[in-house]
A and B are shown apart, each in its own frame.
Chain A
Amino acid sequence: MSHADMVPEAANAPKSPPPEVNAGSGEAELQRQRIRAAYLFLLPMLVMLALVAAWPLFRSIAFSFTDASANTIFNGESEWVGFDNYVERSVRSNGEVRWRGVLVDGDWWNAVWNTVRFSLVSVGLELVLGMLVALVLNAEFKGRGLVRAAILIPWAIPTVVSARMWGWMLNDQFGVINYMMMGVGLIDRPIAWTASSDTAMIAVLIVDVWKTTPFMALLILAGLQMVPRDMYEAAKIDGIHPVKVFFKVTLPLIRPAILVAVIFRALDALRIFDLIYLLTPQSDSTVTMSVLSYRELQQFGDYGEGSTMSTLLFLIITGFVLLYLKIGRVDLAGDKG
Chain B
Amino acid sequence: MQQVWWKTALFYAGVVLIVVIAVYPFYYAVITSLESGTALFTPNFLPEMITFQNYVNVLTQGAFVRSIGNSILIAGVTVCFALLLAVTASYALSRVRFRGRGLLLMTILGVSMFPQIAVLSGLYELVNLLGLYNTPWALVLSYTIFTLPFTVWVLTTFMRDLPIEIEEAAIVDGASPWVIITQVFLPLLWPALVTTGLLAFIGAWNEFLFALTFTISETQRTVPVAIALLSGASQQEIPWGSIMAASVIVTVPLIVLVLIFQRKIVAGLTAGGVKG
**Contact residues of A with B, CB < 8 Å?**
1, 3, 6-7, 9-10, 13-19, 21, 30, 33-35, 37-39, 41-42, 44-45, 48-49, 51-53, 55-60, 62-63, 68, 73-74, 132-133, 136, 139, 141, 143, 145-166, 168-169, 171, 173-176, 179-180, 210, 214-215, 218-219, 222-223, 226, 256-257, 259-261, 264, 267-268, 270-271, 273-274, 277-278, 289-290, 293-294, 297-298, 303, 306-307, 310-311, 313-314, 317, 321, 330-336
Question: Given the complex, which residues of A lie within 8 Å of B224, measured CB to CB?
Answer: 158-161, 274
Question: Given the complex, which residues of B lie within 8 Å of A33, measured CB to CB?
Answer: 177
Question: Given the complex, which residues of A lie within 8 Å of B233, measured CB to CB?
Answer: none
Given known contacts A45-B148, A160-B228, A310-B120, A165 and B29 CB-to-CB distance under 8 angstroms? yes
The answer, yes or no, to whether B83 is at the interface (CB within 8 Å) is yes
Smallest beta-carbon distance B204→chain A, Å: 11
B contacts with A, residue count (CB < 8 A): 108
Given known contacts A158-B254, A160-B227, A297 and B120 CB-to-CB distance under 8 angstroms? yes
Contact B177 A157 (CB under 8 A): no
Taking A180-B43, A257-B274 as known contacts, 6 extra A-B pairs with beta carbons closer than 8 A to each other, sorted by chain A number, are A10-B182, A141-B12, A153-B22, A273-B208, A273-B209, A290-B115
0/1 string, B99-112, CB within 8 A of A gives 1: 00110111011110
Contact A141 B98 (CB under 8 A): no
Contact B28 A165 (CB under 8 A): yes
The answer, yes or no, to whether B144 is at the interface (CB within 8 Å) is yes
A260 closest partner in B (C-beta): B273
Contact B209 A219 (CB under 8 A): no
Cα A66 to Cα B28 in complex, Å, equals: 49
Contact A52 B209 (CB under 8 A): no
Contact A30 B171 (CB under 8 A): yes
Contact A13 B18 (CB under 8 A): no
B193 closest partner in A (C-beta): A1
Cα A33 to Cα B224 in complex, Å, equals: 47
User: What are 13 sample pairs from A and B whose C-beta atoms fall under 8 A apart?
Assistant: A9-B178, A16-B177, A41-B91, A55-B126, A136-B15, A141-B11, A153-B22, A153-B26, A154-B26, A155-B258, A165-B28, A273-B208, A313-B115
Given known contacts A60-B119, A260-B274, A45 and B202 CB-to-CB distance under 8 angstroms? no
B92 contact from A1, A42, A56, A267, Cβ within 8 A = A42
Question: Given the complex, which residues of A lie within 8 Å of B50, measured CB to CB?
Answer: none
Across chains A and B, the number of contacting residue pairs, with CB separation under 8 Å, is 331
Contact A39 B273 (CB under 8 A): no
Contact B126 A158 (CB under 8 A): no
Contact B251 A161 (CB under 8 A): yes
Cα A6 to Cα B121 in complex, Å, equals: 34
B22 contact from A39, A151, A174, A334, Cβ within 8 A = A151
The answer, yes or no, to whether B114 is at the interface (CB within 8 Å) is yes
Given known contacts A161-B251, A164-B227, A267 and B21 CB-to-CB distance under 8 angstroms? no
Cα A215 to Cα B258 in complex, Å, equals: 13
Contact A57 B118 (CB under 8 A): yes
Given known contacts A44-B85, A164-B243, A174-B41, A156 and B255 CB-to-CB distance under 8 angstroms? yes
A73 closest partner in B (C-beta): B125
Cα A173 to Cα B26 in complex, Å, equals: 20
Smallest beta-carbon distance A157→chain B, Å: 5
A336 closest partner in B (C-beta): B102
Query: Which of B84, B86, B177, B240 has the largest number of chain A CB atoms within 10 A?
Result: B177
Cα A174 to Cα B32 in complex, Å, equals: 11
Question: Given the complex, which residues of A lie within 8 Å of B86, measured CB to CB?
Answer: 45
B174 contact from A16, A58, A145, A332, Cβ within 8 A = A16
Contact B96 A37 (CB under 8 A): yes
Smallest beta-carbon distance A60→chain B, Å: 4
Cα A63 to Cα B122 in complex, Å, equals: 8
Contact B121 A41 (CB under 8 A): no
The answer, yes or no, to whether B247 is at the interface (CB within 8 Å) is yes
Contact B85 A48 (CB under 8 A): yes
Q: 9 tightest A-B contacts by CB?
A: A56-B122, A59-B122, A334-B275, A271-B115, A256-B276, A38-B92, A179-B43, A222-B270, A41-B88
The answer, yes or no, to whether B149 is at the interface (CB within 8 Å) is yes
Given known contacts A1-B83, A74-B128, A10 and B274 CB-to-CB distance under 8 angstroms? no
Question: Given the complex, which residues of A lie within 8 Å of B254, measured CB to CB?
Answer: 156-158
Contact A149 B251 (CB under 8 A): no
Contact A37 B80 (CB under 8 A): no
Contact B43 A174 (CB under 8 A): yes
Contact B92 A165 (CB under 8 A): no
Cα A160 to Cα B114 in complex, Å, equals: 20
The answer, yes or no, to whether B266 is at the interface (CB within 8 Å) is yes
Question: Given the complex, which residues of A lie within 8 Å of B19, measured CB to CB?
Answer: 146-147, 150-151
0/1 string, B149-184, CB within 8 A of A gives 1: 100100001001000000000011011111101100
Smallest beta-carbon distance B199→chain A, Å: 10
